[in-house]
């Protein structure tokens, strides 16, 4: 079946339908990872977005239940140059096209993803529609595309009830993890370090968390514009003021920056992939990181009496981490649990656990 991708600037890419066949309108973004397509599809941070994979062959090792980062895929649409008809790997439990169909993810292949990516890089992230219709009104499609906005995504992806995840082995610390769209491996990284983790829904009041007697608080990754979450930002400020050890990642990093007076901005095309170099300024070392974000903290909006930039992006100089001047509070924009290096930045989890074991003392 034929399929067509239309972008908000009127560009048209024709190809072959994969996955679901329903019309899908979303924000189109690109990811430069060579592998990890299942983790990408199930990352809640992609809610409201369609993903263009820049690597030309996708699906060649199939899918399996162990690689899911959440209970279901969250990406709205999927665009590839070539979808492997059958995956080949000893861990394979199924094929990617069947997986896309099962979860009604509309996709398209045989698209010039290089040209598409160059367009998104030069003109910036934009909305688009994938349709399998043979005849459609371009004017009506463009009106629908222009009207679309990614919104309400944190509420969509967050847990509805608190969930307890026990530590592996002896319990060394008790962590409250705020779920704005948390990835499963983030929880596992804490569990492996002896943390008993209670995962709270995004809109849980700070008072509820602080009454739980936790040793530390973690703010998770998640989708959308951080500035849309004003109610959450007010509760994050209360968690910050409580002075428990606090570690935040991606959206959590942005929410805490906003809660302490900094600003965020929408990036031209974001950072999405597994090969982004980030410099830890204190260590003087560069690490390869996994990233997925379309917003960033504005460096000159950070109050030097509150925090300092701790990590920077080697490619564009953007803020990749903040070290807060209050005791035991630090945040990063990238994903330390995603293991692109393969485990270069997991030292951040070790640091968080050490701060909790010291009872908040540096």
- Catalytic-labelled residue, pool 132, 173, 195, 250: 250
Q: Is the peptide bond before 56 cis (omega within 30 degrees of 0)?
A: no
The answer to whether 302 and 257 are in contact (CB under 8 A) is: yes
Query: What is the SS3 string spanning the chain?
Result: CEEEEEECCCCEEEEEEEEECCCEEEEEEEECCCCCHHHHHCCHHHECEEEEECCCEECCCCECHHHCCCCCCCECEEECCEECCCCCCCCCCECHHHHHHHCCCEEEECCCHHHHHHHHHHHCCEEEEEECCCCCCHHHHHHHHHHCCCCCHHHHHCCCCCEEECCCCCCCEEEEEEECCCCHHHHHHHHHCCEEEEEEECCCCHHHHHCCCCCEEEECCCCCCHHHCHHHHHHHHHHHHCCCCEEEECHHHHHHHHHCCCCEEEEEEEEEEEEEEEEECCCCEEEEEEEEEEEEECHHHCCCCCEEEEEEECCCCCEEEEEECCCCEEEECCECCCCCCCCCCCHHHHHHHHHHHCCCCC
- Among the listed residues 271, 293, 311, 335, the single catalytic one is 335
Query: Which residues make Cβ contacts (< 8 Å) with residue 261, sequence separation at least 6?
Result: 301, 303, 306
Q: Assess whether 250 carries a catalytic annotation.
A: yes
What are the catalytic residues?
250, 335, 337
């Amino acid at each position: 079946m034929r399929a067509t991708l239309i972008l908000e600037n009127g560009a048209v890419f024709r190809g072959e339908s994969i996955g679901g066949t329903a019309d899908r309108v979303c924000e189109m973004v690109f990811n430069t990872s060579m592998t990890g397509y299942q983790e990408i599809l199930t990352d809640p941070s992609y809610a409201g977005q369609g993903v263009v994979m820049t690597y030309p062959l996708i699906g060649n090792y199939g899918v399996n239940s162990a690689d899911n980062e959440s209970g279901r895929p969250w990406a709205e649409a999927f665009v590839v140059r070539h979808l492997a008809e059958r995956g080949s790997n000893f861990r394979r439990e199924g094929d990617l096209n069947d997986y896309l169909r099962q979860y009604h993810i509309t996709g398209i292949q045989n698209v010039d993803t290089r040209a598409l990516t160059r367009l998104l890089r030069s003109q910036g992230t934009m909305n688009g529609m994938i349709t399998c219709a043979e005849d459609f009104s371009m004017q009506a499609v463009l009106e629908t595309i222009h009207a679309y906005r990614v919104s309400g995504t944190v509420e969509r992806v967050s847990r509805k009830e608190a969930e307890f995840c026990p530590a592996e082995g002896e319990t060394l610390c008790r962590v409250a993890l705020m779920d704005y769209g948390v990835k499963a491996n983030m929880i596992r990284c804490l569990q492996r370090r002896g943390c008993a983790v209670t995962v709270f829904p995004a809109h849980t009041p700070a008072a509820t968390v602080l009454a739980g007697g936790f040793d530390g608080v973690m703010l998770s990754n998640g989708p959308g514009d951080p500035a849309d979450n004003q109610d959450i930002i007010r509760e994050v400020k209360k968690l910050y003021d409580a002075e428990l050890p606090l570690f935040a990642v991606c959206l959590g990093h942005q929410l805490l920056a906003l809660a302490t007076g900094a600003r965020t901005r929408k990036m031209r095309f974001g950072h999405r992939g597994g090969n982004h170099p980030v410099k830890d300024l204190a260590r003087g070392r560069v690490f390869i990181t996994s990233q997925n974000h379309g917003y960033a903290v504005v460096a000159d909006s950070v109050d030097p009496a509150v925090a300092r930039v701790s990590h920077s992006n080697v490619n564009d100089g953007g803020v990749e981490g903040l070290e807060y001047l209050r005791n035991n509070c630090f945040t990063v924009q990238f994903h330390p649990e995603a293991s692109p290096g393969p485990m270069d930045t997991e030292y951040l989890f070790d640091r968080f656990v050490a701060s909790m074991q010291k009872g908040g003392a540096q």
